[in-house]
Amino acid sequence: MRIESKHSRSTTHLQRDGHAQGKLTETFTGLFRTILSADKDQSRKAAREVRKLLYSHHDGQYQDIVAIIERAPEEYAKIAEDFRQENFVMAISVLYFLHNRENDPDFLFPWLFGFLQHENGNIRHAAVRMFEHEIGPLTRHIRFPDEKFSAHHLPSEHADRIIFTLFANLNSLEADLWKPTYKRYKFVSSLPSGAYKSAQMVTARLADSCGKQYMARFLR
């Protein structure tokens, strides 16, 4: 399933600041401006530079990162070119863990579910990585039941509700994507590349993090 662009020729928020067709601007805002507006080669290079900048000296541009992630669904909806969609999503996945929404970790789940069904394998894999990032914190109270958490951590009851909804939505998606030929595959890793495998990868990570005893409540 391909996520269609809603606005084929719209100018994005990041593009309005100008075009970065030449030398890559060493700020996250500048790099994303290049991803969204430059030619295919420069857009791809900028997407790769996001990771390099993140793990180098970037002068603490954390508020810019948070703003970029917050606007990501809106910006993505304006992208017409397939290559630019891929570059944008992969760059977002690099920064995703800095979203600063620990008390609202499922805020982008509807957007990510769409990417699990994308025809582009790199976009699907980026979505899997972003889901997996949230599964760790969401299941912390399950994996460490005796640990006392500070007030800023997500309450266990809230985490349980998110886990239940995530599991239910994954099951529904997998039911829609199921093909009889999948019966022959014993392991998720051996499934053919596609949306079903991507959904199964998230489900497997969720089940592994929750444990059999916790997951049993969903299978009654």
Count Cβ atoms below 10 Å from residue 156 Cβ, excluding itself: 14
- The predicted model gives 103-119 an average pLDDT of 94
Q: Please determine, for residue 17, whether its predicted confidence score (pLDDT) is greater than 80.
A: no
- The predicted model gives 9-38 an average pLDDT of 65
DSSP state of 148: P
User: Token digits for 153?
Assistant: 């951590």
Single out the residue of 220, 96, 210 nearest to residue 160, CA to CA. 210
Q: Please determine, for residue 6, whether its predicted confidence score (pLDDT) is greater than 60.
A: no
Among 7-21, 55-69, 105-119, 139-153, name the most confident range: 105-119
Domain boundaries, the chain: 1-100, 102-220
Q: Please determine, for residue 151, whether its predicted confidence score (pLDDT) is greater than 70.
A: no
Q: Please determine, for residue 83, whether its predicted confidence score (pLDDT) is greater than 90.
A: yes
- The predicted model gives 53-82 an average pLDDT of 92
**Considering Cα of 113, then 117, then 120, then 121, what sign does the dihedral take?**
positive
Q: Please determine, for residue 4, whether its predicted confidence score (pLDDT) is greater than 60.
A: no
- The predicted model gives 197-204 an average pLDDT of 98
Residue type for 94, please?
V
Q: Please determine, for residue 59, whether its predicted confidence score (pLDDT) is greater than 80.
A: no
Q: How far apart are CA 113 and CA 124, in angstroms?
A: 9
- The predicted model gives 128-150 an average pLDDT of 88
Q: How far apart are CA 7 and CA 108, in angstroms?
A: 20
Q: Please determine, for residue 86, whether its predicted confidence score (pLDDT) is greater than 90.
A: yes
Greater pLDDT, 154 or 181:
181
User: Token digits for 67?
Assistant: 């703003």
> Is the distance from CB of 136 to CB of 209 less than 8 angstroms?
yes
Burial class (CB in 10 A: 0-12, 13-18, 19+), 21: exposed
Q: How far apart are CA 215 and CA 220, in angstroms?
A: 9
